[in-house]
Amino acid sequence: MPRMPRPSGAGCGALLFLGICLKRRIEIGILYSRSGSYQLVSDACRMGAMRAIADINADRQHGIELVPVERDPQSNADRYATLCEDIFKTSSARHVVGCVTSWSRKETIPVLEKAGGMLWYACPYEGFEANEHVVYMHACPNQHLVPLMAHVVPRFGANGFLLGSNYIWGWEMNRVARDLIADAGGKVLGERYLRIGETDVTRLIAEIRATRPNFILNNLIGTSSYAFLAAYRDLGHEDAAFSPETCPVISCNLTEGELPAIGESGKGHLSVGPYFAPRPAAFASSFEASAYASVQVMADVLSHDADAGPTEFSKAFAERRFSTRLGPIAIDAHSQHATLPVIIGRIADGFFEVVSREDEVAPDPYLSRYDPAKTFGRPRLRVVS
């Protein structure tokens, strides 16, 4: 069968008078786990990507049809690289939307570099990375942890207790947090880690009760986070010093998609992200919105050049802004991180109440422009006798 000709331009409006819309079919990889301790986050990302694919394919003006090539790593970090490689070997896909954890993202990078592919990463991460084969479509530290700490310290105090799942996200986020707390004139009163999926938080609660911090930075993920929040709510019922109004739990990766699993335990605590769902909501969470935007931007470039690779995308990022469900965004051509809104939300009854918002914050993944004095105010001079 002869290959169908590629439509000219970004769409196919010139053919609509004939009732015909010739679209070029482009395969793209989908690499999200359908089970495991962070399934709710993964499902939200997958839903956003698949919704965007369906909407683009249904648009008769769009000149391409996206065909998902899906693989399920089942939350096994050792499977991401293998399955990413399988996508490239068994299909024509050169773009993959996927990965939730930084561990899984880092596992796929050598495969992407070898195949000349690109990963569209739709989750917040700890920063200090840039790769021409990865497009970072969610927040980095100057778009989540720095503004969250700047909001919390003057209201609650600078002494923090740091929690994390025992892998890259927890380690690196807490490393950055230690520096920020020192810059704010505070102390780290404790730093503890749980293996992914661990739900025994008895020791954490006991240490928090003993040290009495001003806030708790929660870098636990999935079921570990849910168990901690439930136990912390019980602690708050015993001692008002641990209520959300006095000592909040703050997070950079907690979204609406996990609120049903958390229930009343989350009420009053704080999170930060580029999107919180209004009512009624277009998306369930920033993970869904970011994955949707990833496919939007990818399809925008591919509709002009279906064979575009890292070089062509870098050029497009340097020259253009993109209209997405996150709003109009730019993508830095050097670091390939997105400019994003920064929104701080407080958990209310099943949704996030917005307490502050800043639009179009440029990415600074290495915190090269971070100014402690601007963020926390100039430190007070100590009197030395």
- Confidence at residue 277, expressed as pLDDT on a 0 to 100 scale: 85
For residues 273 and 151, membership in a common domain is answered with yes
For residues 204 and 232, membership in a common domain is answered with yes
Nearest one of 134, 167, 133, 162 to 149, comparing CA atoms: 162
Q: Cβ of 9: how many Cβ atoms within 10 Å?
A: 10
For residues 273 and 294, membership in a common domain is answered with no
Q: Cβ of 16: how many Cβ atoms within 10 Å?
A: 12
pLDDT tens digit sequence for 11-23: 454 444 444 557 8
- Confidence at residue 276, expressed as pLDDT on a 0 to 100 scale: 92
Cβ within 8 Å of residue 299, ≥6 positions away:
52, 56, 62, 64, 66
For residues 127 and 171, membership in a common domain is answered with no
CATH (domain of 51) = 3.40.50.2300
Q: Cβ of 318: how many Cβ atoms within 10 Å?
A: 12
Instruction: Please give the Cα distance from 156 to 7 (Å, whole number).
Output: 58
For residues 26 and 109, membership in a common domain is answered with yes
260 three-class SS: helix
DSSP label of 381? P
- Confidence at residue 284, expressed as pLDDT on a 0 to 100 scale: 79
For residues 220 and 352, membership in a common domain is answered with yes
Is residue 1 a part of any domain in this protein?
A: no
Is residue 310 a part of any domain in this protein?
A: yes
For residues 222 and 101, membership in a common domain is answered with no
For residues 221 and 359, membership in a common domain is answered with yes
Nearest one of 48, 121, 110 to 335, comparing CA atoms: 121
| Total domains in the fold of the chain | 2
- Confidence at residue 5, expressed as pLDDT on a 0 to 100 scale: 38
Instruction: Please give the Cα distance from 79 to 191 (Å, whole number).
Output: 30
- Confidence at residue 210, expressed as pLDDT on a 0 to 100 scale: 98
For residues 40 and 113, membership in a common domain is answered with yes
For residues 233 and 355, membership in a common domain is answered with yes
Residues in the chain predicted with pLDDT less than 50, given as ranges, are: 1-11, 13-19, 381-385
Instruction: Please give the Cα distance from 29 to 284 (Å, whole number).
Output: 22
Is residue 254 a part of any domain in this protein?
A: yes
Q: Determine the structural domain holding residue 95 and report its residue range.
A: 13-139+280-339
Identify whether 280 is preceded by a cis peptide bond (ω within 30 of 0): yes
- Confidence at residue 280, expressed as pLDDT on a 0 to 100 scale: 59
- Confidence at residue 14, expressed as pLDDT on a 0 to 100 scale: 43
Cβ within 8 Å of residue 160, ≥6 positions away:
177, 181, 186, 187, 188, 189, 213, 214, 215, 216, 217
